[in-house]
Structure 1
Amino acid sequence: MTYPLIVLPFVVLTVIVTLATARLPRFRRRMASSGLTALVLVGLTLVFDNLMIAVDLFSYPPEHLSGLKLGLAPVEDFAYPLCAAFLVPAVYTLLSSAPSPKDAA
């Protein structure tokens, strides 16, 4: 179960950073946008990962996986697009809401 352990820090970081933006303006709107983006990315991952695995472009050693799959794709593959859909907007929000150096002067 190597791959689930590799994914875990990314998921934890995504949850922490996303929750850190919960009190900032437009959180609900950002979550709705991130959710829609996540659906699209997961759909694309589902189609293309299954296709690439089916034509034998790559494979995963079964002993390193959780065993859960969507088609041919292990569920661990879906963590990265989910994290990207929520983490990138959260980081952007935190960075854009931070006071700039010229505001401190």
Structure 2
Amino acid sequence: MTYLLISLPFVLVAVVAAWAARPRTTAAGRRRLIATSIAAGVLVVLTAVFDSVIVATGIVAYDDGRRSGLTVGLAPVEDFLYPLAGVLLLPAVWTLITRQTEPATRHDRTDGGGDR
């Protein structure tokens, strides 16, 4: 089994969860897309740097027969699927949990103010 095939179920679960937790409004969807893109970009850069370092130092070695052969620096592209799954899955899980526990509206207080 290749590293890519091992990673795909995690990405698939993350994509399904992200779809299920998609925002209900266009503005919220746009904000989530921007935030997700920024987080994914940061994680891709960090993964490229630190995976290259740990491969270069010999801390981790990969079986060449199980890799796709594509790399970013010294990091195999398969290693980028886990951060991608995380950046999709964690906000989705948070959204699904809070969507079920928060009241229907945020302005249902009748006293008209916050803490005094």
- TM-score (ref. length: structure 1): 0.87
Corresponding residue for residue 6 of structure 2: 6
Corresponding residue for residue 110 of structure 2: none
Query: Partner letter of residue 79 of structure 1?
Result: L
> How many residues in Structure 1 have an aligned counterpart in Structure 2?
102
**Alignment gaps of 5+ in structure 1:** none
Q: Relative to structure 1, is the Cα distance of residues 21 and 27 closer, same or farther in structure 2, using a 3 angstrom cutoff?
A: farther
Contact kept in structure 1, 2:22 and 2:92, CA below 8 Å: no
Task: Provide the C-alpha distance between the structure 2 equivalents of 1:55 and 1:24, rounded to a whole number of angstroms.
Answer: 46
Corresponding residue for residue 72 of structure 1: 74
Q: Relative to structure 1, is the Cα distance of residues 97 and 61 closer, same or farther in structure 2, using a 3 angstrom cutoff?
A: same
Aligned ranges 1:1-105 → 2 under 5 Å? 1-25=1-25, 26-99=28-101
Task: Provide the C-alpha distance between the structure 2 equivalents of 1:99 and 1:9, rounded to a whole number of angstroms.
Answer: 28
Corresponding residue for residue 112 of structure 2: none
- TM-score (ref. length: structure 2): 0.79
Contact kept in structure 2, 1:7 and 1:79, CA below 8 Å: yes
Identity of aligned residues (%): 44
Q: Partner of 1:92: helix, strand, or coil?
A: helix
Q: Relative to structure 1, is the Cα distance of residues 33 and 23 closer, same or farther in structure 2, using a 3 angstrom cutoff?
A: closer
**Alignment gaps of 5+ in structure 2:** 105-116
Q: Partner of 2:68: helix, strand, or coil?
A: coil
Q: CA RMSD in A?
A: 1.9
Q: Partner of 1:98: helix, strand, or coil?
A: helix
